[in-house]
Amino acid sequence: MTLKSPARRPQWWIVSPCLAVIAQLSLVAQSASVSSETDNSAVVELSEFVVTSDDDVGYAATSSLAGSRLKTDLKDIAAPISVFTKEFLDDIGATSVNAALEYALNTVTEYDVTGNGIVSNNYQTRMRGITGAGRSRNYMSTNLNIDFYNTERLDFSRGPNSVLFGIGSPAGIINSSTKFARLGGNLTTVQMRVGSYSDHRASIDINRSLTDSLAIRANLLWQDSEGYRDFEFQQKKGAALAGTWRPFEKTTIRIEGEVMDIEENRARPWTPFDGVIGWETAGRPGVNTATTWGGTASGTGSAITSGIVFMEDGLWAGQFVNQTGAQNFRWSNGATPNIPGLNTPPNVLDYSVVPRTSNIFGAGARSSSDSRAGGIYLEQKINEDLSFELAYATEYEERPVVAPMNFGSFRLRYDVNAYLPVFDAHGVQTGMQQNPNFGSPVMITNGGFGNNSHAWSSNYREELRATAAYHLDFRAMLDRESLLARVLGHHRLAALITEVGSERTAKNSRYVNIHETRANPNYFNNVNAIRWGNYYDPFAANPTDRGLHDPFGALESVGVQPLAHQPGRFVQASLENSNWTWSRNETLTTMFAMQNYFWEDRVVGLFGWRTDDQDLFDSTPNIEANTGAYRGFTRNGKLRDLTGDTFTRGVVVHVVPNLLSLYYNRANNFQDNGVAEVIGPIGNLTSIGNRSGEGEDMGVKLRFFDGKLSASLGWYETADTNQGSSIDGNFFTWSEGIWDALGTPVDLGGRDTRNLKSEGYEFELTANPTRQITLTFNAKDADTTVDNLFPWAQRYLDDNRAQWSANAGTPVATTTLPAGSTIGSSLAALDQLMAVITAPEGSAPFADRQRTANFFGRYAFDDDAVLPGFAVGFGLQYRGESLIAYRSQTDGAAVYSPDHLMANAMISYSRKLDYNRRLKLQLNIDNLFDLQDPQPVAGGEPTAAQLQTYQDLGLLYHGVVYTVQLPVPRRYSLTATLSF
């Protein structure tokens, strides 16, 4: 299968004239400079398109490309932009973008309450209370999780910014600048790091200037780290190569490429959910007897009701056992029914039952990333006023993810089978045997992606960009001191055309029985599903035995075996694809931006206009007729197109130059919600529509002591309209249960929408007041509100209410509702669910924090001070109260988690070993005060019938039951850096 689509290739006719013009102009530039062939380094032309860390001082950056696509002083940019310099990133000890976000203004890594995003996504970032902030690499979009071994700095643009992106989330975008080769110097940096939880990391950075006009740079990375939680690990191998060539005085070619391989097990940052309260409340009853299989008991449930179980140990070790009807493996249940508004039971926080480090999904829950990225940049400067850049970048990533169980199954459960059947070599039951594992913790999989345990995806992206920059200076044309010259000023103009093609191939798979004697020919019928499991001890001396084992080799090596409890049938386990999709987006962008400088640069205006024309293509899966297996796909023609104009308008007024400035900025954007359908039968083909955003900023900028201290205080409003949103899975389960009861089964799916608006204040300060001190501080106080919640789900209920109400007494069978449920009670449960999930209407969304603040400062001792060569740093991260629930059963009041403060520290020692070698040792301490209190992240108010149970167990917080996130305890890292 060829990854690249023949549907539409990059339009080289757009670029070919640019190449020809640049080639001709470079010859003109060459002939205009007699000395250029003999001494290319005699004049170093400053680039309009490049910002390097050389321009930064301490934690303070002076310029950015994020404002106008051209190198611009931050003081002249009206858009809300922040920069993390290389020196700051080094001091906080961060090694990736996700780690550095903890210090970013109004920006957080989003930990959804399911943990699915933690496992599946390279990143998920919330800026200004809005999800889906994008990432770029050298101002080319990226899906990669960037590591800092090859990173110079980070630029944050909060809110819509049509100069950088038209199609995207209104949250904003984070750009990482890679390390390019530098002319005119040789440098080698070797770095090694060891830290808590077996953290080992090494990197090397080598820059060599081969001639005055040619340089190369290589960066290598190796990392092998375990984590705080069981089974957690991350292994990285990375390599990057960059080159810079200046063949002529005004011509520069830069090239860079990077490969990265990552293997990891990402643990959810919480202990398992409770799956035993119901069973223990019922007195820990046993199921089955010495003569019968198929019993039930209060507080117990079926691990699976239909399919095949393969146990690695216990009485069924190494056998495939058919599960049918009441004869199945049973385990303990938590309290039922579910708590309104809470997808799961509360976490087990008794560390004598499961340790704080527990990760029961075990060794089999893992993911990897194999990525390649790179680009080439040709820059031609015609004269002092006119320059061009032609750039091409590409990126490819393969990402397999294994999730044996879904987030709701991350539960502590016990084997409640007092007796289990035993079978002979032919699968015939020979009797019942007392279960030696009765009451032991047990795991049996159900698939983390629906019923699928494996997900694989590949993402390919290529971007071709041509940019022209021109400086129109009326001061040079007129008498510089004349009134007319001051009025007309000077102007920096940028025009850009970009073509982007991105493709995604994705498939999901699961283990099924493919033997010819299987009960149903369709591989994905429930009777053919293979679920594997094992017993475990969360306190086991052997770490492997603390959770679900990695069964995949065993499943594929056992070969053909009889199916126990169904003699005559056999099992042949195979990992088969149950879904296989391909999609492609092609986007043609034209952009024009101008910065207008008037009245001796006292007034700086910004105008950006952008047109994006996007074509979307999809595919039809090739499904095997008898088995239902997906055997590839067929690319379709264009599904639909999307066109839009977006604008940025801003102004900075330097009321008192280099002291006091006022700014205003307004921008918008839009985004396609993909092929997402509205809530309803799968395949209803009704799109949820496009997402759009609006942003407005105004405020004041301050600069003191010749720029050694800079600060900004601003008000902002960012609106996100028609954001795609997932709904509680019980909505589908209960609705499907009603249709099943009516004898008209329906497979439901789709997404819903909501609107968000964030309004508030942001403050940022960066200072280098003395040679010894550098610091940064930021804070936000903002209100985020959500409205128009889940309109499609409500419409679906309203459309079907009459039919369902007319059959209110019909029994409904679903394990997520109490026994004896009817269509009427199920409809009431759906109405209650809607009341809970729409409770934030007009108020703050769940997990929103009104106030946050971050600080980090460093003091470096002078060479003649008491501690020459030493530096100390200290950081604080304040997180205000977070909304976790509304008391929907009683007074409707909002319930917030408590605020908390996280502290970090750094101490370093730097010493010059000889004339060109320097050694630096740095100790970083994260979570200095060892905050370990569970942090509530989601909650729900129990019904009156449930209340007493949770009161007795001490699991209430301000009247709600809650789930938590557990901070990683204090950890240390020691880094040694040798530079020469």
- Assess if residue 964 is contained within a domain: yes
For the whole model, what pTM was predicted?
A: 0.89
Beta-sheet pairing, 530-535 with 307-311:
parallel
Query: How long is the chain?
Result: 980
- Assess if residue 933 is contained within a domain: yes
Which distant-in-sequence residues (6+ apart) come within 8 Å of 828 by Cβ? none
- Assess if residue 325 is contained within a domain: yes
Q: What is the pLDDT of residue 674?
A: 67
The number of domains in the chain is: 2
What is the C-alpha to C-alpha distance for residues 213 and 601, in angstroms, rounded to an integer?
35
What is the C-alpha to C-alpha distance for residues 494 and 500, in angstroms, rounded to an integer?
19
Q: What is the pLDDT of residue 235?
A: 97
**345 three-class SS:** coil
- Assess if residue 470 is contained within a domain: no
- Assess if residue 156 is contained within a domain: no
Helix/strand/coil (H/E/C) assignment for every residue in 483-498: HHHHHHCEEEEEEEEE
Locus of tokens 């569970």: 934
- Yes or no: say if 510 and 452 are a contact pair by the CB < 8 Å rule: yes
- Assess if residue 84 is contained within a domain: no
Last residue of a domain, one of 575, 608, 637: 575
- Assess if residue 925 is contained within a domain: yes
What is the C-alpha to C-alpha distance for residues 330 and 326, in angstroms, rounded to an integer?
9
Q: Helix, strand, coil: what percent of the chain each, to 5?
A: 15, 50, 40
- Assess if residue 913 is contained within a domain: yes
Which distant-in-sequence residues (6+ apart) come within 8 Å of 684 by Cβ? 677, 678, 750
What is the C-alpha to C-alpha distance for residues 219 and 180, in angstroms, rounded to an integer?
10
**519 three-class SS:** coil
Last residue of a domain, one of 575, 596, 617: 575
What is the C-alpha to C-alpha distance for residues 246 and 378, in angstroms, rounded to an integer?
10
Q: Running DSSP on this structure, what letter comes out for residue 941?
A: P
CA dihedral 473, 478, 480, 486 (to 10 degrees): -70
Q: Is the peptide bond before 840 cis (omega within 30 degrees of 0)?
A: no
Residue 552 phi/psi, 5° resolution?
A: -65, -40
Which distant-in-sequence residues (6+ apart) come within 8 Å of 518 by Cβ? 527, 528, 569
> Among residues 757, 763, 794, which one has the least CA distance to residue 776?
763
Q: What is the pLDDT of residue 906?
A: 98
pLDDT, mean of each 10-residue run, the chain (980 residues): 36 39 40 38 59 80 82 90 95 93 89 75 84 90 93 93 79 93 94 97 98 97 96 97 96 97 94 93 95 92 92 95 93 81 88 96 93 97 94 97 88 97 96 98 87 94 96 89 87 95 96 96 94 96 94 81 95 95 94 93 94 92 95 92 91 95 94 78 78 94 92 96 87 90 88 93 95 96 94 94 95 74 92 88 88 97 89 97 90 92 97 92 98 93 86 88 94 97
Last residue of a domain, one of 535, 553, 575: 575
CA dihedral 223, 224, 225, 231 (to 10 degrees): 140
Question: Cα dist. 573→182, 277, 435, 511, 562 in Å?
Answer: 55, 35, 26, 6, 12
- Yes or no: say if 510 and 578 are a contact pair by the CB < 8 Å rule: yes
What is the C-alpha to C-alpha distance for residues 704 and 719, in angstroms, rounded to an integer?
34
- Domain containing residue 866: 861-980
